[in-house]
Structure 1
Amino acid sequence: MATSPLQPELANADSTHQQGNFRFALIALTSLFFMWGFLTCLNDILIPYLKNMFDLNYTQAMLVQFCFFGAYFIVSIPAGALVGKIGYQKGIITGLVIACVGCLLFYPSASYGSYNMFLFAFFILASGITILQVSANPYVSVLGPAETASSRLTLTQAFNSLGTTVAPFFGSWLILSTVEHDSKVTEVGEVIGQLSVQQQASAVQTPYLILAAALFVLAFIFMLLKLPLLGKRDTQSTAAVKGSAWQYPHLVLGAVGIFVYVGAEVGIGSFLISFITKDGTGGVSESQAAHYIAYYFGGAMVGRFIGAAVMQKIKAGKVLAFNALCACILVAAAILSAGTVAMWALLLVGLCNSIMFPTIFSLALQDLKRHTSQGSGILCLAIVGGAVLPLLQGMLADSMGIQFAFILPLLCYGFIGYYGLIGCDAKRPVFADKV
């Protein structure tokens, strides 16, 4: 694997100071991965919550993910340019502050009981997380040897999965349990039902105020930390760079891989509660079903710790292809079976998801050299798959049923298997060695 484009930047700094900061910097960055994993997973809890409160169909409910992940499409390229000007650390601080504002917007959204305001709050929150992604993912990749970048990013992503594992319990306790209590109140009459909607809306205010405070504290901490100053482009050297990241086939295919992976993971997570609560599957309440989401994302957490070790010995592309094949088998089983077999088959897909995002991300950034910042922005742009594909899956669910709608994630995992076996090794452009 070629060295990172930022390795010369590290070499020019005092080696003792930089090496001493690598481990500390990585520890600090894991807190960010945990936090945005926690915030993203809460969407899966809020979707059935908002669906019940505003009487939405599946397609309308998926607008939550459309607005959240649509922010990646709109913000990623500007975020890449911003990080190129201010560097990774300041980019992280900026992202945390914007995400904090997004969490605060949930308070007036709940007060007014407006679905449109909720969607806007999701967009602002995701905009901040996008800047964090553009800053933190490449930061982790360059803080150490290039040949272990996939393993290092997978390890930090494991803490992202820890956040997604904890979030369902938090959301079930403070949000879905309130929905189930208030749904009984609505049976008394229409007037009480209207009051119940406002009570349901207020259930998100305290949790998101707590999250806003946590994000603000993290931003303040990162302002005080002394981390390696990386990511800021030298305007003179940038002007001399030849070509574009778009000319690297393995990056373009990797962007498609990120698009379909995020779409598949978000689509499955978004429908898990609805799928598990079906009489023919789990037949449990929504708050109980939310606990099962912890198994889905908990599997991803365990798999990332295992994958970080495995990819020290086995080529990352082969591990990616193997996991994609297993995911295809499990999703097919969930579509064709019923009861607890279908439920657990779908939950086990989380274990297969474990190494996919960080592995695709790091494989796609290989050999980009001074196009790495642009490439990172393109890959984060592709996270818009989490907006588009769940919406399409919602349309399939409305027309053909939830179970058949999982055919879409099945196709996505098929492409990921192709990328791991073939796409990641696509020929690099000639100018790559001349940059």
Structure 2
Amino acid sequence: MPAPLSSSATAADHNPATRYGPALTLLASLFFMWGFITVINNTLLPHLRSVFDLSYTQTTLIESVWFIAYFFASVPSAKLIERVGYQKSLVIGLLVMAAGSLGMMLAASLPSYGVTLAMLFIIASGITLLQVAANPYVVVVGKPETASSRLNLVQAMNSAGTMLAPLFGAYLILGRSKGGTSAAGTVLTEAERIADAQSVILPYGIVALVLVALAIIIARFPLPAMGSATRRMAREDRKKHSIWAHRNLVFGIPAIFIYVLAEIGVANLFVNFVSQPDIANLTHEQAGRYLTFLWGGMMVGRFAGSAIMQRFDAGKVLAAFATGAFIVMIVTVLSDGPIAMWSLILVGLFHSIMFPTIFALGIRGLGPLTEEGSGLLVMAIAGGSLVVVQGWLADNYGLQNSFLLTAVCELYILFYALWGSRPTRDLTNQQAS
């Protein structure tokens, strides 16, 4: 996978005369779109559960297929970028996503659970290509000293997409379906299920049109060239050290894997959970609107965490957030009514800093091994595919009790923050130039 670029490489390719603002604005729209489309799943899953009368295991399998695509599509994406370049890869990624969105319209008209899984895999593969191409591009286009600022900016746009998606899905999917506007546990007739399935056609048609329009704009846009900044480190430098000798990376890989499992499990089962009579007794449409607070908390937490970590050690901040996440998940499991709902919403605030902080701690001190370590951490995002385990727990031990898995995940993050993230040795000064 294309890995994060060294500052020396970035500086060598930066041209002060080039204006990067328009390119970054366009790239930010990509981050917005893949965040938006990913979170549509949070309203799509309870909808599909109603349409196809799925168990929680079958429902969470949908999200597992989504993250399996990250695992299988990442290496082919890297090879495609090497062959055709970054700009063409961005266009291809958008068109692949558009094709999958059109396929979702086909799946809804049939309707077919199997075709739905296949189309979501295609959409996620397109998003993987965008992730592999856009992240290193954002690092390169612009001044090296402001690379972190640019990444924070586009990640904020990603959060904006995740905040708006639940409203879009609640209105155009859940709000236009019998299952979405009925009380939890309502049994639909065959005719009602077919009608509900077709409510997906309009929103995915809109998404497909927007993706095609973006592909056309990017294909015609004069994006600045990346030059030689994507060259990997010399193999001889790599052979001098073992990547597995670094505790912070070895424990950081499962930390990313486990964190993504926790985040996705909460988001995917949120609507079903708060819709229950003993929790908030809401329709799926109403519950989908509350999902915005979960993702909004993550955006607020990122800004707050960034400011806090300017004064306090990142590991200690991560430990505090992991402790908070564990507490609210225990409250979610042991309580009911509005307390259970709002405690589950609050976990979004505590989850906010986890991914970027774990990532930064995982590559700390790797020096010439930074690129390889970064690639391994990115691959660990596939941990979201194991959300099907929480679905199985929900089926066999109850939906509310299934969140004990999330609580256990928070304990591992706490372990990583306090001990696992400490670098075994620092190779930073040995970074190849």
Aligned-partner residue type, residue 256 of structure 1? P
Aligned residue pairs total 422
- Of 316, 336, 341, the residue aligned with 1:338 is 336
Per the alignment, residue 58 of structure 2 pairs with: 60
Deviations 1:37-89 (A, max 9, x none): 11111111111111111111100111111111111121223334444555544
> For the residues of structure 1 that align with 2:93 and 2:42, how far apart are their CA atoms?
22
Secondary structure at the residue paired with 1:402? coil
1:362-393: CA deviations, max 9, x gaps? 333445566555444422321121111x2111
**What is the alpha-carbon distance in structure 1 between the residues aligned to residue 157 and residue 46 of structure 2?**
26
State the shift of 1:215 in Å.
1.7
Instruction: Give the aligned partner of residue 118 of structure 2.
Output: 120
Cross-structure match for 1:221: 217
TM-score (normalised: structure 2):
0.87
1:203 — aligned with what? 199
Q: Which residue of 1 aligns with 2:248?
A: 250
Taking the aligned partners of 1:149 and 1:286, their CA distance within structure 2 comes to: 41
CA displacement, residues 195-240 of structure 1 (integer Å, 9 cap, x when unaligned):
33322222111211211221222223333142351686448x6554
Deviates more, 1:220-229 or 1:411-420: 220-229
Alignment partner for residue 288 of structure 2, among 284, 287, 290?
290
* One-letter identity of the residue aligned with 1:102: G
Amino acid at match of 1:117: V
Structure 1 stretch displaced more, 98-107 or 35-44: 98-107
Q: 2: CA distance between counterparts of 1:198 and 1:157?
A: 38
Give how far 1:320 is off. 2.2
Shift of 1:246: 5.7
Q: Which runs of 5+ in 2 are unaligned?
A: none
Pair 1:360 & 2:358 matched = yes
Tell me what 2:326 maps to.
Answer: 328
What residue is the counterpart of 1:96 in the other structure? 94
Q: Residue 34 of structure 1 contacts residue 163 of structure 1 at CA under 8 Å; is this kept in 2?
A: yes
What's the offset of the Cα at 1:434?
A: 6.1
State the percentage of identical aligned residues. 41
Query: How far apart, CA to CA, are the structure 2 residues paired with 1:309 and 1:119?
Result: 40
Cα RMSD of the aligned pairs, angstroms, is 3.0
Higher helix share: 1
Structure 2 CA distance for partners of 1:254 and 1:268, relative to 1, 3 Å: same
SS in 1 for 2:70: helix
Q: Distance in 2 between matches of 1:24 and 1:359?
A: 29
Alignment of 1:159-238 (within 5 A): 159-180=157-178, 193-223=189-219, 224-229=221-226, 233-234=230-231, 238=234
Q: Provide the secondary structure at the position in 1 that maps to 2:424.
A: coil
> d(CA) in 1 for partners of 2:428 and 2:306?
32
Kindly provide the amino acid, as one letter, of the partner of residue 7 in structure 2. Answer: Q
Counterpart CA distance in 2 for 1:367 and 1:195 is 60
2:34 maps to a residue whose letter is W
Cα distance change on mapping 1:350 and 1:199 into 2, 3 Å: same
Asked whether the 8 Å contact 1:86–1:232 carries over to 2, the reply is no
- Once residues 16 and 140 of structure 2 are traced to their aligned partners in structure 1, the CA distance between those partners, rounded to angstroms, is 16
SS of the counterpart of 2:238?
coil
Query: Taking structure 1 as reference, are residues 373 and 164 closer, same or farther at Cα in structure 2, changes over 3 Å only?
Result: same
1:410 partnered with 2:389: no
Q: By how many angstroms is 1:255 displaced?
A: 2.1
1:248-327 alignment, distance < 5 Å: 248-327=246-325
Q: Report if aligned partners of 2:141, 2:224 keep a CA contact under 8 Å in 1.
A: no
For 1:278, what is the secondary structure of its paired residue?
coil
Amino acid at match of 2:99: V
Q: Sort the Cα spacing of 1:150 and 1:394 in 2 relative to 1 into closer, same or farther, 3 A.
A: farther
CA distance in 1, matches of 2:370, 2:79: 12
Q: After alignment, is 219-228 or 95-104 more displaced?
A: 219-228
Contact 1:154/1:308, CA 8 A, preserved across alignment = no
Task: Indicate the residue corresponding to 2:348 in structure 1.
Answer: 350
CA distance in 1, matches of 2:228, 2:339: 47
Q: Distance in 1 between matches of 2:320 and 2:70?
A: 28
How far is 1:128 from its partner? Answer: 1.1
CA distance in 2, matches of 1:248, 1:143: 31
> C-alpha distance in 1, partners of 2:419/2:382?
24
